[in-house]
Chains A and B, each alone.
Chain A
């Protein structure tokens, strides 16, 4: 695990910015990198309950997700978003957490439906997690019970808007935090 390469490349945009004409380079790089990221958001489909049916409908031909570049992946290693569609029970919560950690960065979480937003109609149950944001950090909350497939597509468009604001200049602090955590865990 080479610590240095990550930090060098993350410092590069800050250095380039200070050069004459460097802003042009970083913003153009931002534009293309964000364009590539948002056009190929591949979710790890996590269909747990009824919202999964609406998610499947969004993938099918009538509401076609593929035209947004959204292809479902079965493994977290190839996914960069997780759509939590359905009720999260306490038995399932550690698995969601583990899968979220196994996804490579950049990762986004889309909480679909009332059950994963806040616990939904099963709020008083003994075994329902009151919102998946108690387990993973959520980027976009999509209300509905279940939300229509076109609402799900709108939520993915919102994630694309969030991606458009990402910049390569902001990478350095997060890389340093991650490397610090690994050092404290004794792995580096």
Chain B
């Protein structure tokens, strides 16, 4: 994606910081922007609605548990303009919560349910916040680093 588009994003969102791409790692890397979690929903709306950016496809929505923080990763693609971008937002490990982007991309619905199921991130404004992969009565969020489990009758 061109540098001037990145610059345009950064002037509307001055707290967005760009991570340096590791040289030679990917042939066509998507630029990575780290944003604070409060401005994420507004940034997503800008990315979808702006005509020069036009990110209409949320490819991936996931989270990574570093032991001291949880990082949400959003990977976006523009069908029309054919460019990509990755957004990262850091969350505290204690009671992580972030705004839901289902109002921006409908496909975020089940992706956010999966992140809630496996990481325990609460999405405010999500239309249907319940577990999707594990049984409803499961206790805990398995992909967290501090997850422990007692063996049950199936083990």
Residues of chain A whose beta carbon lies under 8 Å from any beta carbon of chain B: 90-91, 93, 126-127, 129-130, 134-135
Contacts and interface: CB of A to CB of B under 8 A. Distances in A.
Contacts of B153: 134
B149 A90 contact: no
Contacts of B155: 130
A126 B149 contact: yes
Contacts of A93: 154
Contacts of A127: 133-134, 142
Contacts of A90: 134-135, 152, 154
Name the residue in B149, B152, B153, B155 with the highest tally of chain A Cβ atoms < 10 Å from its Cβ.
Answer: B155
Q: Is the interface of A mostly helix, strand, loop or mixed?
A: loop
Name the residue in B142, B152, B154 with the highest tally of chain A Cβ atoms < 10 Å from its Cβ.
Answer: B154
Interface in B126-149: 133-135, 142, 147, 149
A134 B142 CA distance: 22
Contacts, number: 20
A42 to B, nearest CB: 28
Contact of B142 (A91, A126, A129, A130): A126
Contacts of B149: 126
B154 A91 contact: no
B135 A129 contact: no
Given A91-B134, A93-B154, A134-B153, 9 more contacts: A90-B134, A90-B152, A91-B135, A126-B147, A127-B133, A127-B134, A127-B142, A130-B154, A130-B155
B2 to A, nearest CB: 43
Nearest to A135: B154
A129 B134 contact: no
A3 to B, nearest CB: 32
B128 to A, nearest CB: 18
Interface string B71-113: 0000000000000000000000000000000000000000000
Name the residue in A90, A93, A134 with the highest tally of chain B Cβ atoms < 10 Å from its Cβ.
Answer: A90
Nearest to A94: B135
Nearest to B135: A91
Nearest to A123: B155
A113 B32 CA distance: 42
